[in-house]
């Protein structure tokens, strides 16, 4: 009978510890603050922002020198980096008080990714004017995204056109 009691004790202990872990995880999500959210996202965005800056290095010169295929590859690479970053940060838990604002922000970010892809396609096809129009939309959309999350104080997760050429 001693073994059976020990087994029951072990099972109950494991159940209590498991329940405590679940409760702690739930309360951690509930107390997610904007400041901790920003800190978490900045850690993810920083490498992507630096990779984007390197990938887009000299793209303006490429377009001006009519090296559109080279510029197209750079925009395609930037779209890939940007998309990967968006997927990573959109999977993170969000502060409950900012859910609607962040949903709007992610809509703008996904639209920016789409514009980057479209710019790459237009440059590949030799349509420089169409790519310029899309670039203007890309910049405008980035500014809208920044305005949506101005209160967050993002650095690497905010749109900065200087990273794109």
Tokens of 91: 């999977």
Q: Kindly state the percentage of the chain with pLDDT values over 90.
A: 77
Q: What is the DSSP string of 94-146?
A: --GGGHHHHHHHHHHHHHHHHHHHHHHHHHHTT-HHHHHHHHHHHHHHHHHHH
What is the C-alpha to C-alpha distance for residues 73 and 81, in angstroms, rounded to an integer?
12
Has residue 21 got a pLDDT over 50?
Answer: no
Q: Which residue range is the domain that position 159 belongs to?
A: 33-164
What is the C-alpha to C-alpha distance for residues 39 and 154, in angstroms, rounded to an integer?
9
70 lies in the same domain as 14: no
Q: How many domains does the chain have?
A: 2
For residue 72, what pLDDT band results from cuts at 50, 70 and 90? very high
135 lies in the same domain as 100: yes
Q: What is the mean pLDDT of residues 87-98?
A: 96
Determine the pLDDT at residue 17: 46
19 lies in the same domain as 92: no
Has residue 115 got a pLDDT over 60?
Answer: yes
Determine the pLDDT at residue 20: 45
143 lies in the same domain as 155: yes
Determine the pLDDT at residue 89: 96
What is the C-alpha to C-alpha distance for residues 48 and 99, in angstroms, rounded to an integer?
23
Contact assessment for residue 45 and residue 105, using Cβ atoms and an 8 Å cutoff: no
């Amino acid at each position: 009978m001693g073994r059976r009691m020990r087994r029951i004790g072990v099972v109950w202990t494991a159940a209590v510890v498991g329940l405590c872990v679940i409760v702690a995880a739930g309360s951690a999500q509930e107390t997610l603050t904007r400041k901790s959210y920003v800190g978490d996202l900045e850690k993810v965005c920083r490498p992507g922002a630096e990779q984007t800056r390197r990938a887009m290095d000299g793209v303006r010169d490429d377009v001006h020198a009519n090296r559109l295929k080279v510029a197209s590859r750079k925009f395609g690479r930037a779209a890939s980096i940007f998309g990967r970053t968006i997927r990573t940060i959109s999977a993170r838990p969000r502060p409950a008080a900012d859910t609607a604002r962040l949903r709007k922000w992610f809509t703008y970010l996904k639209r920016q990714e789409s514009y980057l892809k479209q710019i790459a396609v237009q440059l590949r096809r030799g349509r420089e004017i169409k790519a310029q129009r899309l670039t203007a939309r890309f910049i405008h959309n980035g500014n809208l995204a920044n305005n949506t999350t101005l209160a967050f104080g993002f650095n690497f997760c905010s749109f900065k056109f200087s990273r794109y050429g």
